[in-house]
C-alpha cells in the first residue's frame, strides 16, 4: 500500500498549532472534514474513538512519530492524513521523545488488512532517517505531499 492510497492530500498540515495529544487529533480530524474525507457529523465520534484507542496505549511508535487511529463504521475505505508539529507534542511514546510527525488513520471496521498495510508502509518508509527528517522540517503541505509521492515512487509497493 502506498501513501497515495490513503492520505487525503488536501488534509495534510505542515504546522499544527495544538500542543496536546487531543488537540492534535482534533486538528487533524478537522482537516479530514475540511477535505471531505469524513463527514462533519462524524467528527466528534471519530475524535472520541481515536482518544479511546490512545487510552489503551500510546500510538507514539518512536523516532518522533505517532499513528493515532481508529476503526469507524462511517468510512467505507481507509482514510488518513499527515501533520507536522514543529515544536513537538508529548504523546507518551515508548522512547519518551516528543512527537513531531503524525499519521492519522480512520479505517472501516471490516478491513484490518488495509490498516496493517498502511502501518507497514508508514513504518517501513520512516526507517529512512532522511525521509523522516525531511518530513519533520517541511515548510508547507506541498513539501509533505512531494515527499510522500517520492517515497511512493521509490519504495517497493506492497
Partner 1 sequence: MNVSVVGQHEDRLAGILNSMSDQMVSREVVVGMPQGLHARPADQLAREARKWQSRIELLNNSQRVDGKSILEVLTLAAEAGTRLVVEVTGPDAHEALKAIGTLFDRNFNEQENNEGR
Question: Rg (Cα) of the chain, in Å, rounded?
Answer: 14
Stretch that binds partner 1, among 5-13, 14-22, 47-55, 141-149 (CB under 8 A): 47-55
Separation of alpha carbons 97 and 92, rounded Å? 8
Nearest to 64 by CA among 152, 132, 154, 147: 132
Can you read off the three cell numbers belonging to residue 3? 501513501
Stretch that binds partner 1, among 15-23, 53-61, 138-146, 147-155 (CB under 8 A): 53-61
Does 67 bind partner 1 (CB under 8 A)? Our answer is yes
Nearer to partner 1, 28 or 141 (CB): 28
Does 122 bind partner 1 (CB under 8 A)? Our answer is yes
- The answer to whether the CB of 69 falls within 8 A of the CB of 32 is no
Does 154 bind partner 1 (CB under 8 A)? Our answer is no
Map the footprint of partner 1 across residues 91-120, applying CB under 8 A. 94, 112-113, 115-117, 119-120
- The answer to whether the CB of 49 falls within 8 A of the CB of 70 is yes
Nearer to partner 1, 53 or 152 (CB): 53
Find residue 101's DSSP bridge partners: 65, 84
- The answer to whether the CB of 77 falls within 8 A of the CB of 8 is no
- Residues at the site binding partner 1, with contacts judged by CB under 8 A: 49, 52-53, 56-59, 61-63, 65, 67, 69-71, 94, 112-113, 115-117, 119-120, 122-124, 126-127, 158
Amino acid at each position: 500500500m502506498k501513501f497515495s492510497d490513503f492520505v487525503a492530500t488536501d488534509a495534510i498540515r505542515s504546522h499544527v498549532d495544538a500542543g496536546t495529544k487531543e488537540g492534535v487529533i482534533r486538528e487533524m480530524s478537522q482537516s479530514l472534514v475540511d477535505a471531505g474525507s469524513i463527514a462533519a457529523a462524524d467528527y466528534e465520534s471519530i475524535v472520541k474513538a481515536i482518544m479511546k484507542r490512545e487510552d489503551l496505549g500510546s500510538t507514539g511508535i518512536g523516532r518522533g512519530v505517532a499513528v493515532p487511529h481508529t476503526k469507524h463504521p462511517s468510512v467505507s475505505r481507509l482514510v488518513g492524513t499527515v501533520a507536522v508539529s514543529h515544536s513537538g507534542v508529548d504523546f507518551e511514546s515508548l522512547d519518551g521523545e516528543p512527537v513531531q510527525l503524525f499519521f492519522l488513520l480512520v479505517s472501516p471496521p471490516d478491513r484490518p488488512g488495509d490498516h496493517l498495510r498502511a502501518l507497514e508502509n508508514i513504518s517501513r518508509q520512516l526507517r529512512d532517517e532522511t525521509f523522516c527528517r525531511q518530513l519533520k522540517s517541511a515548510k508547507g503541505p506541498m513539501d509533505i505531499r512531494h515527499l510522500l509521492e517520492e517515497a511512493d515512487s521509490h519504495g517497493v509497493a506492497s
